[in-house]
């Protein structure tokens, strides 16, 4: 059985989705294929998100915001949206979750830490649901 794929999508693919992908890679290792994208990607990952993740030992400095591609969404098993609105494609038979999270854009690391921690909790929960498939 192939490993499940999870796609995290937010507007800029620079904060929430990058932190979620970082957490999932860290916690799941190679048991899950991790993807992230944005409907209107930024030039770079949010420095406050990078710093907040570094504080917990997760390096996301090598990540680059990517444009959401139809094919990526279509081939993902689980799609987690984080405020991308109508730009997120919908495919029948896919599992979707919409995580309501504060947007870290323009905020300092102090404001990003609680968002990071909430994302970790949600990723841990997601992993318990994916466990039978892994």
Say if residues 16 and 100 touch (Cβ distance below 8 Å): no
What is the pLDDT at residue 70?
Answer: 87
What is the pLDDT at residue 63?
Answer: 96
Cα-only R_g, the chain: 14
Token digits of residue 37: 């994208």
What is the pLDDT at residue 134?
Answer: 42
Ramachandran angles phi, psi of 122, nearest 5° = -65, -40
Q: What strands lie across the sheet with 5-10, from one edge to the other?
A: 33-38, 5-10, 78-81, 95-98
Active site residues: 10, 84, 88
What is the pLDDT at residue 133?
Answer: 46
Residues whose CB falls within 8 Å of the CB of residue 22, separated by 6 or more in sequence, listed in order: 53, 58, 59, 60, 63
- Whole-angstrom Cα distance, residue 121 to residue 110? 18
Q: What is the pLDDT along the chain (134 residues), one digit of tens a residue?
A: 589 999 999 989 999 999 999 999 999 999 999 999 998 999 999 999 999 999 999 999 999 999 999 889 889 999 999 976 666 667 777 888 999 999 999 999 999 999 999 999 999 999 999 875 44
Residue 34's domain comprises: 5-133
What is the pLDDT at residue 1?
Answer: 57
What is the pLDDT at residue 12?
Answer: 92
Residue 64 maps to which CATH number?
A: 3.40.50.2300
What is the pLDDT at residue 91?
Answer: 72
Say if residues 10 and 46 touch (Cβ distance below 8 Å): no
Closest of 1, 55, 67, 64 to residue 23, by C-alpha: 55
| Number of structural domains the chain divides into | 1
């Amino acid at each position: 059985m192939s490993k499940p794929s999870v796609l995290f999508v937010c507007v800029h693919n620079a904060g929430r989705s990058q932190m979620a992908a970082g957490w999932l890679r860290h916690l799941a290792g190679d048991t899950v294929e991790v993807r992230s994208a944005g409907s209107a990607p930024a030039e770079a990952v949010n420095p406050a998100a990078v710093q907040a993740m570094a504080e917990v030992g997760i390096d996301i400095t090598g990540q680059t915001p990517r444009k959401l591609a139809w094919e990526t969404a279509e081939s993902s098993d689980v799609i987690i949206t984080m405020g991308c609105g109508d730009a997120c494609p919908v495919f029948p038979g896919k599992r979707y979750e919409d995580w309501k999270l504060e947007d870290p854009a323009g905020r300092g690391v102090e404001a990003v830490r609680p968002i990071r921690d909430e994302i970790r909790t949600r990723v841990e929960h997601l992993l318990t649901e994916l466990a039978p498939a892994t």
